[in-house]
Amino acid sequence: MSITVFVTGGTFDKEYNEITGELYFKDTHIREILDLGRSLLKVDVKKLILVDSLNMTDKDRAEIVQHCINAKSKHILITHGTDTMSDTAKVLASQNISKTIVLTGAMIPYKFGSSDGLFNLGCALAFVQVLSHGVYIAMNGKYFRWNEVQKNKESGKFEKIKL
Amino acid sequence: MSITVFVTGGTFDKEYNEITGELYFKDTHIREILDLGRSLLKVDVKKLILVDSLNMTDKDRAEIVQHCINAKSKHILITHGTDTMSDTAKVLASQNISKTIVLTGAMIPYKFGSSDGLFNLGCALAFVQVLSHGVYIAMNGKYFRWNEVQKNKESGKFEKIKL
Amino acid sequence: MSITVFVTGGTFDKEYNEITGELYFKDTHIREILDLGRSLLKVDVKKLILVDSLNMTDKDRAEIVQHCINAKSKHILITHGTDTMSDTAKVLASQNISKTIVLTGAMIPYKFGSSDGLFNLGCALAFVQVLSHGVYIAMNGKYFRWNEVQKNKESGKFEKIKL
Amino acid sequence: MSITVFVTGGTFDKEYNEITGELYFKDTHIREILDLGRSLLKVDVKKLILVDSLNMTDKDRAEIVQHCINAKSKHILITHGTDTMSDTAKVLASQNISKTIVLTGAMIPYKFGSSDGLFNLGCALAFVQVLSHGVYIAMNGKYFRWNEVQKNKESGKFEKIKL
């Protein structure tokens, strides 16, 4: 089994710029995290964009959709900012792609040491191997179908919503 | 869904004793790792023993089996040293317990900062939620049925064996 | 010998707010850093303010001066944002206080794991024990008299200036 | 001012071998620590040996002495295991070398994330710049003359002894 990982940025990949004191994107850390996790999965990592998901545009989402449709693998993981993860999941679901697509992200940048990113990536990689076709969000150790979850902006937690 | 985690020790929970310069067990870090991963799963953590798996006895394994049989949850995760993880999996499989049992561990202690433990625990918790009944080992991002895997002692990697 | 540490904030003590995605101050980490360094020094830590040094006011500086004058210890360490560290040093020097006063800071928050803070605090605590009376800045492993150093805003390094 | 650092090993530079589960030496991390501390000091790092100081021989100590005598710099830092740091300091002191020689070490390996090494190296580098000629031990934030300190094997702390 081969897994395709599409990187779109999000807190996951943010770093601290010690000159400006601001957070920014330099590059993705997914390969580094996979090495740390001693992953032996066949993973093809492709960086699409590196943006805060609040700045993700419709055009960005259309490109993500196109990449998912074109991907040879049936197992697709997307790293994504948490704020609009549900929006991208919704757009993906509307396409009825016959693949298992799992979106995940992080609340704390991987580079900050105490990140939830390593745990989340582990969860998401496991879910993408075994769940049936569909679009899912993997956060807080759980998986959710794209239409049954939303991020609680106050607590930062992903919660199930009534359908 | 509720998940039961049985802690048995292994590299996962080892710490460095700065007085003696040796590795030892003080307590389990599973709850701490779950918090770091912002897990919202219903997880019941129960520490059975804290041993290097090379020192695990038949009696220890019999106890682990008994706890798995008695557990109310159908989803059981066991943290375990990697050296004899396959042996314990075999003993568990011989009991035909109608539950999903996943064993996982770590190559580097969680407390050493650069551990694979957070990733592995994420993977294992995801697998235990979605795999059907049986006994599995989750390492290196993958899951294996109990009888199709062995640890390569030289590389430290879990490899598929021919059945 | 007893050392007084006055905390004023700066990058040293900044943390990441995972809900807003911004950096903020919650509390000082100086005590935690001293414990990590297994310090056995008699250190009296007093938190004066927690501000980004770009926001430090003349009133704040007047208070810092007053605390340095009133302190019983002859050895005073001040943790301070790097951007205006020289300004505060200048104000302190104008008072001709008969004490050894060392200012230090960090380029990366202590909580981000890869911080220079632990190293800088070690340097500063050593310098404050052995340097003669005067006002100094300890950064980049070096110490500078208050009037011979400035922060290079582009490189983030503290450089000697011609007197 | 130029500082010579002689590396002899000790807990400072130990790493965890994930295959054998034992601690071992691969290489020194002093350069890495200096970079993390954003040190701008002129430091010449020379690795002499990499040993647990309990295994350090008289011949090893004779070599360290010879290197200190031959060094062009008047400021010498020696990283050393804590168990026999006092012994090496004594041998060095017997030579009456007209230089400032500071020995330091760590209780926790640098690679384990929560090490006191970064703090200790900061302290030692500061002391070696400002103390007068002599042989010193820098641990726990303090400096001690070679003949006034011993490691308390039970607590791991360096304590002053009555002369």
Among chain B residues, CA nearest to A43 = B141
| Sheet with strand A142-145: strands edge to edge | A42-51, A2-9, A75-79, A100-104, A134-139, A142-145
Q: How far apart are CA B70 and CA B47, in angstroms?
A: 15
List residues of A whose CB lies inside 8 A of any C CB: 11, 16, 18-19, 21, 23, 52, 107-109, 111-114, 153-156
Please answer yes or no on whether D156 and B113 come within 8 Å at the CB atom. Answer: no
Q: Is the per-residue pLDDT at C100 higher than 90?
A: yes
Chain A residues with beta carbon closer than 8 angstroms to that of B115: 36
Residue D127 φ/ψ, nearest 5 degrees? -60, -40
How many residues would you count in chain D?
163
**Residue B94 CB neighbour total at 10 angstroms:** 11
Give the pLDDT of residue C13.
96
The amino acid that residue D157 corresponds to is: K
Q: How far apart are CA C85 and CA C92, in angstroms?
A: 11
Among chain B residues, CA nearest to D116 = B18
- CA–CA distances in Å: residue D87 to residues C17, D69, D92, D94, D155: 48, 18, 9, 11, 19
- Chain centroid to CA C104: 3
C77 touches C3 (CB < 8 A) = yes
Give the pLDDT of residue B68.
98
CA nearest D135: which of D158, D102, D95? D102
Tokens for B64? 């682990």
Give the pLDDT of residue D113.
83
Mutate to test the interface with A, among C15, C16, C110, C140 (most CBs of A within 10 A): C16
Q: Which of C11, C18, C52 sits opposite A156 (nearest CB)?
A: C18
Give the pLDDT of residue A114.
80
Give the pLDDT of residue D163.
64
Chain C residues with beta carbon closer than 8 angstroms to that of D138: 126
A69 φ/ψ sector (left φ>0, alpha ψ -120 to 50, else beta): alpha
DSSP string, D11-54: GGGEEEETTTTEEEE----HHHHHHHTT--SEEEEEEEEEE-GG
Tokens for D148? 């006034």
D87 touches D137 (CB < 8 A) = no
Among chain A residues, CA nearest to B36 = A116
pLDDT in tens, A29-52: 999 999 999 999 999 999 999 999
Chain B residues with beta carbon closer than 8 angstroms to that of D25: none
What residues are paired with A16 via a beta bridge? A23
Query: Sign of the C-alpha dihedral, residues A78, A79, A82, A83?
Result: negative
A107 touches A116 (CB < 8 A) = yes
Beta pairing class for D149-151 and A100-104 = unpaired
Please answer yes or no on whether C112 and A107 come within 8 Å at the CB atom. Answer: no
Please answer yes or no on whether B37 and A119 come within 8 Å at the CB atom. Answer: yes
pLDDT in tens, chain A (163 residues): 899 999 999 999 999 999 999 999 999 999 999 999 999 999 999 999 999 999 999 999 999 999 999 999 999 999 999 999 999 999 999 999 999 999 999 999 999 988 899 999 999 999 999 999 999 999 999 999 999 999 999 999 999 997 6
Give the pLDDT of residue C163.
64
Give the pLDDT of residue C114.
80
Local structure of residue D132 (DSSP, 8 states): P
Please answer yes or no on whether A113 and C114 come within 8 Å at the CB atom. Answer: yes
Give the pLDDT of residue A163.
64
The amino acid that residue D162 corresponds to is: K
Among chain D residues, CA nearest to C40 = D140
* HEC sequence for chain C: CEEEEEEEECHHHEEEECCCCEEEECCCCHHHHHHHCCCCCEEEEEEEEEECHHHCCHHHHHHHHHHHHHCCCCEEEEECCCCCHHHHHHHHHCCCCCCEEEEECCCCCHHHCCCCHHHHHHHHHHHHHHCCCEEEEEECCEEEEHHHEEECCCCCCEEECCC
pLDDT in tens, chain B (163 residues): 899 999 999 999 999 999 999 999 999 999 999 999 999 999 999 999 999 999 999 999 999 999 999 999 999 999 999 999 999 999 999 999 999 999 999 999 999 988 899 999 999 999 999 999 999 999 999 999 999 999 999 999 999 997 6
Give the pLDDT of residue B163.
64
Residues of chain D with confidence (pLDDT) below 50: none
Q: How far apart are CA A63 and CA A65, in angstroms?
A: 5
Please answer yes or no on whether B114 and D109 come within 8 Å at the CB atom. Answer: no
Q: Is the per-residue pLDDT at C52 higher than 90?
A: yes
> If you count residue pairs, one on A and one on C, with CB atoms under 8 Å apart, how many are there?
41
Q: Which of D21, D108, D113 sits opposite B18 (nearest CB)?
A: D108
Give the pLDDT of residue D114.
80
Average pLDDT, chain C: 96
Among chain B residues, CA nearest to D155 = B19
Q: CA A121, B13, D25: angle at the middle one, nearest 5?
A: 90
The interface predicted TM-score (ipTM) is: 0.97
DSSP string, B62-112: HHHHHHHHH-S-SEEEEE--STTHHHHHHHHHTTT-SSEEEEE--SS-GGG
Q: CA C147, D131, C81: angle at the middle one, nearest 5?
A: 40
Is the pTM above the cut of 0.80?
yes
CA nearest D144: which of A162, C129, A129? C129
